[in-house]
Amino acid sequence: MYYHIAQGTIPTRALEYHVVNHCNLTCDHCCSYSPLLSPSEVDPDELTQDLHALKGLLKPQLLKIVGGEPTLHSNLFKILSSAKAVQIAPQLSLTTNGCFLDRITDECLMLLDHITISVYSLEPRQKSIFKSFIKRAKKFTVILNWKIQDTFSQMDRGELSTRADAESIFQSCWIHDRCHSVRRGVFYCCTRTQYLKDLYGETPFTDDGVRIRDTRQEKLLQKIHKYLNRTEPLNSCRLCYGGQAPLRPHRLLSKKEQTLKKAQVKELCRCIT
């Protein structure tokens, strides 16, 4: 899609903020690479700084707090209240795997408009937890979206694509219009880059995002506009099947598989030139 500048701002669908890298589950093909990463969480003040840098330049309809598993953040309320205070988007949502719904306190519910709950398996115990959570959410008029996740897209390639193939994968990939995100001073059109950086390092992914701090607003607006309308692929696309990725049944990775996969992804990153 083509992004327009309207009254000095770029209207977008949504903006994600990934507040933790870690998760209690180890899903194969997790697009956040959580099973391969060390635990890490974002400081609420940093989140505020990032959102303020984009406020007025981007106009997302929805700000999504995601992870990893965001309910594992040590101060979820502070994260949500900081995100809400910036008022970058009219709606605030949280995406969770539903394992720790009791961590979403009434104070958190008061701040939220939507919660997306991914359901991986339905144990009888989970059913009763869900039932009481539905009641609490209703009390605070929070809309719940249930996402049955019995399949996952296999985004990772076993070998790097050529630059020409990566270009056509990027151009047909719908994800870079749906998964805009910001973290640690960088805006991304696709979330995979921020996790590849955490897994492997800054190089070769530096130009896959836009640095948003210490740049004049007008110059930054032009930079983000150009970036969102780019046709050349990200370096991250060389490792990815994009929007055409095949579907695989949901399964959890063993410790051994996590170690092996981490080594494979790192080796591919090393080969990007």
Does 234 engage in binding with ligand SF4 (CB under 6 A)? yes
Closest by CA to 176, choosing from 163, 184, 188, 160, is 188
Does 27 engage in binding with ligand SF4 (CB under 6 A)? yes
Which is closer to ligand SF4, CB of 36 or CB of 57? 36
Does 169 engage in binding with ligand SF4 (CB under 6 A)? yes
Does 47 engage in binding with ligand SF4 (CB under 6 A)? no
Which is closer to ligand SF4, CB of 192 or CB of 197? 192
Site size for ligand SF4 (CB under 6 A): 24
Enumerate residues 175-214 that contact ligand SF4 by CB under 6 A.
175-176, 190, 192
Structure tokens given for 122 = 């339905």
| Binder of ligand SF4 out of 34, 93, 161, 194 (CB under 6 A) | 34
Does 23 engage in binding with ligand SF4 (CB under 6 A)? yes
- Single-letter code of the amino acid located at 37: L
Which is closer to ligand SF4, CB of 107 or CB of 174? 174
Cβ neighbours of residue 113 closer than 8 Å, sequence gap 6 or more: 91, 92, 93, 142, 143
Encoded one letter per residue, x for contact with ligand SF4 by CB under 6 A and - for no contact, window 95-124 reads: --x---------------------------
- Apex 246 CA angle, 165 and 236, nearest 5: 45
Does 242 engage in binding with ligand SF4 (CB under 6 A)? yes
* H runs (alpha helix) in the chain: 44-54, 76-86, 106-111, 124-139, 163-171, 175-178, 192-200, 217-228, 255-271
Is residue 198 within 8 Å of residue 266, measured between CB atoms?
no
Does 92 engage in binding with ligand SF4 (CB under 6 A)? no
Measure Cα distances from 137 to 77, 107, 132, 144, 164 in Å: 16, 11, 9, 7, 48
- Choices 12-20, 29-37, 70-78, 128-136 (CB under 6 A): range interacting with ligand SF4: 29-37
Q: At its nearest, how many Å lie between ligand SF4 and the CB of residue 174? A: 8
Closest by CA to 149, choosing from 202, 89, 96, is 96
